[in-house]
Amino acid sequence: MSQAIKPAPTSNAPQAKPVQMTGAEMVVESLKRLGVATIFGYPGGAILPIYDALYESGIEHILTRHEQAAIHAAEGFARATGKVGTVMATSGPGATNLITGITDAYMDSTPVVIITGQVATSLIGSDAFQEADVMGITMPITKHNFQVRKTEDIPRILAEAYHIAGTGRPGPVLVDVPKDVANGKANFVFPETVNIRGYNPTTMPSMLQIERVAEAIAEAERPLMYIGGGIISSEASEELRRFARESGIPVASTLMGLGAYPQNDPLYVGMLGMHGTYAANMAIFHCDLLIACGVRFDDRVTGKLERFSPNSKKVHIDVDPAEIGKNVAIEYPIVADAKNALKALLEKAPRANCADWQRQIAAWKAEYPLSFKQQGESLKPQYVIDLINKLTDSRAIVTTEVGQHQMWAAHFYQFNEPRKWITSGGLGTMGYGFPAAIGAQLAKPDELVICIAGDASIQMNIQELQTIAERNIPVKVFIINNGFLGMVRQWQELFHENRLSESKIGAPDFARVAEAFNVKGIRAENTAQAEQAIKDALAHPGPVVVDFIVEEAENVFPMVPPGKGTDELIVKGWEE
């Protein structure tokens, strides 16, 4: 992973005569030297010196209307580009409003640097106004955190923060800056290199282990690649494609790995796990060699561990040694960057003898493909997303909120390239997709960026309509509106005797809400309106919200029930 995501290089230019600056000025100057051009944030008392230094700095600051939205936007920026995202907030409530986003970034290995203001050092621990122990709170949800105690340390700490966030397994790094440190003065000395004792991620694989894996592939009859977000983080998509095609090994993807391997390729099996395809879940159950690359054996993939891929020997390639063997016993552990490991495997040119296995997988794909039946005028949610896919020619960057619509987007939007799919996988954060789309759009201004949302999720950060309206950020928000917390309702129907406790949430007329923010709003309630609404939205040069009123009782299938094995999928209702 370390080679894929890099902060902008630190300056190698000789240091001129030291210049005295305030700590706040050092923050801004350091960010410029690190190549940071865009910051998402929200000002407040403790961080005001830094915001003052930011004024007329040339760095673009995106004022979101909530700190949670700011960090999700930074995540979207990072996921769309592979660069480290940057977010800034004040002390106390500003910092604590970031916590969900920091956790989300940690769970999904997203590189972001969070700069928080803090009360003056003399007040830390005194329950001062807007003081929170952000160091203690974020210790378990950051890759590393710093609290700056000396003004002169700011350039070094920021250089280290960006280096840590973007190398090895990417993740969030927090830098807490007390107000007196920001106001203090010292000589500005920016480090030419970053050298952190004890931090040296292993990125190159053991060639002995690579040799053993190559031998195992040659002996396997039913091999399967199980790939995840680590392929995308390490920019290993091209190596994966070459390896699969040269070895002949079929590829199944996690939710986070969608797009790492082209879905229109014959060797692609599908998404696996709780809402994965029948073929992918059958393949992982029956394979005899499982090559897991850039994944973490999440419980949404494994299901009941005792029934997880019971007949296979397992390879695990991951840059984070803590993930190896954490959930599942591994016969072939390889600690390395996925790109480097796949390159090493390609040099061994292993070829699997698995033609019968490929035919079996093709038969499973034909037996139970992802499908739906749009009948009548009322809208099936799958129909809407399939239509979005067709009318955008599968070319958009798609972000989602979390819920049924997220799974339908994963099923019916086709992803053939990496960094086109941005969703909250590990934490499952409602309120993520809309601000993530803002970050992705600012990172990729020439690309089409779509947020597919649920009516409940969009309400969690709907205030960001003001952000896109004010800056004319041309995000297209497509709301799949069924009036329910859809996935909660589905679980209540299937596992709680249809007792719909507090899952009917209701929603406003989102088109009118959008218009109130001076954003174009469209409402669609039947198939003809849906197609025209999508065309109108895509043709509009600015931001748009489309409110699709869909059938409220539709469920997501296939589904592996919680606590069951991947071979125990629910098929009831699938063909309907």
CA dist 556 and 570 (Å) reads 10
- pLDDT, averaged across the chain: 94
Catalytic residue among 3, 6, 32, 130: 130
| Interval 165-208: pLDDT, tens | 999 999 999 999 999 999 999 999 999 999 999 999 999 999 99
* Cβ atoms of residues 47 and 209 within 8 Å: no
pLDDT of residue 8: 47
pLDDT of residue 567: 87
Residue 401 catalytic?
no
pLDDT of residue 576: 42
Query: Is domain 207-367 given the CATH code 3.40.30.10 in the classification?
Result: no
Fold of 381-549: Rossmann fold (3.40.50)
Three-state SS at 307 = helix
pLDDT of residue 572: 57
> For residue 515, how many other CB atoms are within 10 A of its CB?
15
Banded model confidence at residue 253, pLDDT cuts 50, 70, 90: very high
pLDDT of residue 331: 97
* Cβ atoms of residues 10 and 35 within 8 Å: no
Cβ neighbours for 405, distance < 8 A, ≥ 6 positions apart: 381, 385, 452, 453, 454, 457, 480, 486
pLDDT of residue 174: 98
Least confident among 28-37, 176-185, 247-256, 350-359: 350-359
Residue 129 catalytic?
yes
CA distances from 272 to 265, 340, 406 (A): 16, 25, 15
pLDDT of residue 409: 98
* N residues, the chain: 576
Residue 77 catalytic?
no
154's tokens = 């700011």
Catalytic residue among 25, 29, 67, 554: 67
| Residue 267 CA, distance from chain mean position | 25
Q: Which of 8, 13, 12 is nearest to 84 (CA)?
A: 8
Single pTM value for the model: 0.95
Q: Which residue has the tokens 């397992």?
A: 314
Residue 229 phi/psi, 5° resolution? -60, -20
CA dist 549 and 483 (Å) reads 8
CA distances from 51 to 23, 186, 199, 470, 516 (A): 12, 19, 31, 20, 30
The conformational region for residue 393 under phi > 0 = left, psi -120 to 50 = alpha, else beta, is left
User: What is the mean pLDDT of the segment spanning 126-146?
Assistant: 97
Cβ neighbours for 118, distance < 8 A, ≥ 6 positions apart: 46, 91, 124, 131, 134, 147, 176, 177, 178, 179
User: What is the mean pLDDT of the segment spanning 54-66?
Assistant: 97
pLDDT of residue 10: 47
Residue 532 catalytic?
no
Banded model confidence at residue 506, pLDDT cuts 50, 70, 90: confident
Three-state SS at 137 = helix
The domain locations on the chain are 20-187, 207-367, 381-549
Over the Cα atoms of the chain, what is R_g?
Answer: 24
Banded model confidence at residue 13, pLDDT cuts 50, 70, 90: low
Catalytic residue among 129, 185, 326, 504: 129
Banded model confidence at residue 15, pLDDT cuts 50, 70, 90: low
| pLDDT surpassing 60 at residue 84 | yes
Banded model confidence at residue 573, pLDDT cuts 50, 70, 90: low
Q: Per-residue b/e over 256-280, b at no fewer than 16 CB within 10 Å?
A: bbbbbbbbeeebbbbbbbbbbbbbb
Residue 135: which H helix or E strand, with range?
helix 134-138
pLDDT of residue 12: 53
CA dist 74 and 439 (Å) reads 6
DSSP string, 74-129: HHHHHHHHSSPEEEEE-STHHHHTTHHHHHHHHHTT--EEEEEEE--GGGTTTT-T
pLDDT of residue 150: 98
CA distances from 554 to 287, 378, 531 (A): 32, 12, 20
Helix axes 404-412, 486-495, angle to 10 degrees: 100
pLDDT of residue 14: 54
Superfamily covering domain 20-187: Thiamin diphosphate (ThDP)-binding fold, Pyr/PP domains (3.40.50.970)
Banded model confidence at residue 574, pLDDT cuts 50, 70, 90: very low
DSSP string, 433-490: HHHHHHHHHHH-TTS-EEEEEEHHHHTTSGGGHHHHHHHT--PEEEEEE-SB-HHHHH
Banded model confidence at residue 377, pLDDT cuts 50, 70, 90: confident
256's tokens = 């986070």
User: What is the mean pLDDT of the segment spanning 522-541?
Assistant: 97
Residue 179 catalytic?
yes
Catalytic residue among 88, 107, 430, 487: 487
